[in-house]
Amino acid sequence: MGEDEEGTLAALKMIRRDLGDPKIKEHRGRIVKTTGDGLLIEFASVVDAVRCAVDVQRAMAERNADVAAERRIEFRMGINIGDIIIEDGDIFGDGVNVAARLEALAEPGGICVSRVVRDQVRDKLDFSFEDLGEQQVKNIARPVRVYRVWISGAMRVAAAPAARLRLSRRAIAIGVVACIVVASAAVVGWRLHPLTHPAAIGPATPPALADKPSIAVLPFANLSGDPAQDYIAEGLTENLLDALAQDPGLFVVSRNATLLYRGKAITPQEVAKDLSVRYVLEGSVQKSGDQIRVTAQLIDATTDNHLLSRKYDRKFTDLFALEDDLSLQIASALNVHLSGRVEAQIIAQGTRNLEAWEAQVRGFQALMRLTPDGMEDAIRLGEHAIDLDPNYAFALLDLAYAYFLQANNGWAKDRPSALVRASQLNDKALKIDPEFAPAYRLRAALKLVPDLPEFDFDAALADARKSVELQPNDDLNHWTLGSVLFWLGRFEDATAELATALQLNPHPYGFEPGWHAMALSAAGHHEVAIAEVANPKTPTDFFLRGRVEAYAQNFADAAKSFERAHALDPLGAVYAFNLAAVYDQLGRIDEAISLLENGPPQWRSVPYVRLWLALSYALAARKEQAAKEFAAFRALAPKYTLAIERQLNVGSLTQEFLNQIVALSGEYGIPEK
């Protein structure tokens, strides 16, 4: 199956459609949320939970009976019942944790349950149980008594030896499923058994951790006692990550995945298990006057051996030489040779100007606030960094992103200038280093902007693939590729790529799970997708929830989510024109017009604001105003076509309404191609 990745995804989709979702519904299950590579589901009783698990495994055994061993898809399941905590629609507690551990103990095609589950169902269901004894499981104080459920057919097929294909564990969101009963919870862990086969490994497949040294770099601790010095520890951590991630001989977990552990007392072994890595780097930074002390320990979590332990006492101005030395020491300890090309790349992308570095680090912190004020601060600091070092590639990239995000979100007072500046800065970063993967990622995003001359979906796809090719360990590269595939209407491919991003970053940026949910919904997995965005908090969360609802054709709910996003960020143009589109779909045309007419002045340069205002006028038969707005839109986005309009809106509007707006756009001069 790995020989045909598209075929695999199609097979998984079919299993979800024909088996998984109907069985969950049949047994009164309710999806609460997704949990990364799985789902959390509520059932009416533990009996229903066990029946659902057994029915699915039996059906999978029948499906696999005539399938070659190397082409089977198999699941493992674990079932527990226990107390849970219900908060804001989410669930927590040992009941959920134990189910996840039981799943890991199950064989492919099999089910493991706790003793309390066995005791509650053994006189009600005609299944046999094999006692596997007490098992010590992570984060649970007492051992858990584990039983294997014997199911006729299912275990027989699963026990057959098989060559295994490597699939993304998040290939579809049916992975781990916890099935919950309110108060006392029956919890089922349901995971796609990872398959392996050399032919399955391709550009879109995350690297196997066993195939190369895998490492997590924990946030370095700031021991100076001054929170204002946190940026030094953060910058050092980021630079070490960037240096190590350049080498294809290493698997490096993303920065965001390790931020969760900042300031927490956690052992390297726990980190390694959580993030599926072998090596953990931890350290500290202490600055006093013009002196700096850096300590670092590289630990093999499988043996608890310290492969490297270094302490540096240097002048602060020697920080970059210290970083270079430490990067080489780590690579050497892992028996990985940093090639001359990689070393040159690290130097090319960095700086030797300490003040420029400080400005870049602070600018990146501002950028990641993802707010209008944050972008202003990021631009100010970024411009200062490149004034000090015009060839500082990372500073050029971060500054380009700040201008791009400011324009893309509708915050820029001069959108055209911001977009041109972003493109120029990014081009300069690529000129300095033609193999700078994040710059290809940004260039792909820029090619999706309709008011830039380089607007081109196919070219964007090529750049996104290039970023993944150059840096396959980076979750944001895979996220960008997934987003391009999404806008091309390749929803299943997008879902798989966005799932890969989540696998590479177990603690993702807030927007990554939401995009995965949006792609799932666009691909037809609405219930699963809605559960994955069940608890929105930020404007982006509410926006993505609205998009998920729109693809599920729940337009009234979509409008409510977009309204919340708009209320939280009234300057955000993206939230406004998506809300206007749903208002138009619902026949609330006057509200759509009022929303877009009364936006801030900078929205007048946002193409899709002008387009949806034009369409709203046309729907209201205000022809003169519609003609004026369509003309303004065409001046902003001359490469936009009716084919693109269909491509961007398929599934998120009813087909009837989409046909109507495409016809109106054609009447007002938008060309077919």
How does DSSP assign 178-192, residue by residue?
Answer: EEE-SSEEEEEEEEE
Cβ contacts of residue 99 below 8 Å, gap of 6+? 78, 79, 80, 178, 187, 188, 189
Strand partners, 186: 81
How confident is the model at residue 34, as a pLDDT? 52
pLDDT band at 40 (very low <50, low <70, confident <90, very high): low
How confident is the model at residue 598, as a pLDDT? 95
What is the percent of the chain where pLDDT is above 70? 78
In a domain, 107, yes or no: yes
In a domain, 514, yes or no: no
SS3 of residue 385 by DSSP: helix
In a domain, 622, yes or no: no
pLDDT band at 609 (very low <50, low <70, confident <90, very high): very high
In a domain, 607, yes or no: no
Read off the tokens for 147. Answer: 């039983």
Least confident of 32-46, 70-84, 244-258, 470-484: 32-46
pLDDT value at 187 more than 80? no
CATH number of the structural domain spanning residue 313: 3.40.50.10610
pLDDT value at 156 more than 70? no
Q: What are the pLDDT digits (tens) for 75-105?
A: 778 888 765 555 555 566 667 777 777 877 8
User: Are 79 and 150 contained in the same domain?
Assistant: yes
Strands 214-217 and 279-288: parallel
- Residue 652 zone, left/alpha/beta (φ > 0; ψ -120 to 50; rest): alpha
Average pLDDT over residues 320-347: 57
In a domain, 510, yes or no: no
> Cα–Cα distance between 577 and 597 in angstroms, integer?
11
SS3 of residue 492 by DSSP: helix
Least confident of 172-181, 326-335, 623-632, 660-669: 172-181
pLDDT band at 61 (very low <50, low <70, confident <90, very high): confident
pLDDT value at 292 more than 90? no
How confident is the model at residue 222, as a pLDDT? 83
Nearest to 199 by CA among 483, 420, 47, 5: 5
Residue 509 DSSP label: -
Cβ contacts of residue 121 below 8 Å, gap of 6+? 46, 47, 50, 127
How confident is the model at residue 206, as a pLDDT? 36
pLDDT value at 539 more than 60? yes
In a domain, 508, yes or no: no
pLDDT value at 595 more than 50? yes
How confident is the model at residue 183, as a pLDDT? 31
> Cα–Cα distance between 672 and 642 in angstroms, integer?
5
**Residues 149 and 160 sit within 8 Å (Cβ to Cβ):** no
User: Are 66 and 181 contained in the same domain?
Assistant: yes
How confident is the model at residue 23, as a pLDDT? 85
Cβ contacts of residue 200 below 8 Å, gap of 6+? 1, 2, 3, 5, 8, 165, 166, 167
Across 126-147, b (16+ Cβ under 10 Å) vs e yields ebebeeeeebebeeeeeebbbb
Domain span at residue 276 reads 209-340
Q: What are the pLDDT digits (tens) for 406-460?
A: 998 889 999 999 999 999 999 999 999 898 889 999 999 999 999 999 999 999 9
pLDDT band at 307 (very low <50, low <70, confident <90, very high): confident
User: Are 49 and 28 contained in the same domain?
Assistant: yes
Across 211-247, b (16+ Cβ under 10 Å) vs e yields ebbbbbbbbbbbebeeeebbbbbbbbbbbbbbbbbbb
pLDDT value at 561 more than 70? yes
User: Are 245 and 335 contained in the same domain?
Assistant: yes
User: Are 120 and 239 contained in the same domain?
Assistant: no
Where is pLDDT greater, at 485 or 233?
Answer: 485
> Cα–Cα distance between 50 and 4 in angstroms, integer?
33
**Residues 213 and 253 sit within 8 Å (Cβ to Cβ):** no
> Cα–Cα distance between 411 and 538 in angstroms, integer?
17
How confident is the model at residue 92, as a pLDDT? 61
Boundary (domain end) residue, out of 178, 200, 222: 200
pLDDT band at 32 (very low <50, low <70, confident <90, very high): low
pLDDT band at 341 (very low <50, low <70, confident <90, very high): very low
- Residue 542 zone, left/alpha/beta (φ > 0; ψ -120 to 50; rest): alpha
User: Are 188 and 219 contained in the same domain?
Assistant: no
How confident is the model at residue 608, as a pLDDT? 95
Boundary (domain end) residue, out of 340, 372, 398: 340
pTM, to two decimals? 0.61
SS3 of residue 275 by DSSP: helix
User: Are 235 and 129 contained in the same domain?
Assistant: no
SS3 of residue 549 by DSSP: helix
pLDDT value at 146 more than 80? yes
Where is pLDDT greater, at 342 or 639?
Answer: 639
Least confident of 26-40, 135-149, 536-550: 26-40
pLDDT band at 229 (very low <50, low <70, confident <90, very high): confident
> Cα–Cα distance between 502 and 494 in angstroms, integer?
12
pLDDT band at 24 (very low <50, low <70, confident <90, very high): confident
What is the percent of the chain where pLDDT is above 90? 37
How does DSSP assign 303-372, residue by residue?
Answer: TTEEEEEEEEEEEGGGHHHHHHHHHHHHHHHTT----HHHHHHHHHHS-S-HHHHHHHHHHHHHHTT-SH
How confident is the model at residue 211, as a pLDDT? 55
**Residues 578 and 562 sit within 8 Å (Cβ to Cβ):** yes
How confident is the model at residue 210, as a pLDDT? 40
Read off the tokens for 660. Answer: 């109507």
Across 284-311, b (16+ Cβ under 10 Å) vs e yields bbbbeeeebebbbbbbbbeeeeebbebe
Expressed in angstroms, the distance from the first to the final Cα of the chain is: 37
User: Are 185 and 289 contained in the same domain?
Assistant: no
User: Are 72 and 189 contained in the same domain?
Assistant: yes
Would you state the torsion angle of the CA atoms of residues 437, 443, 448, 451, taken in this order, to the nearest 10 degrees? 170
User: Are 93 and 241 contained in the same domain?
Assistant: no
| Residue owning tokens 């050497």 | 332
pLDDT band at 18 (very low <50, low <70, confident <90, very high): confident
CATH number of the structural domain spanning residue 95: 3.30.70.1230
Domain tally for the chain? 2
| Angle (CA) 532 540 652, round 5° | 70
How confident is the model at residue 89, as a pLDDT? 54
Average pLDDT over residues 626-651: 95
Boundary (domain end) residue, out of 340, 359, 394: 340
> Cα–Cα distance between 535 and 541 in angstroms, integer?
8
Average pLDDT, the chain: 79
User: Are 196 and 277 contained in the same domain?
Assistant: no
User: Are 150 and 216 contained in the same domain?
Assistant: no
Where is pLDDT greater, at 339 or 203?
Answer: 339
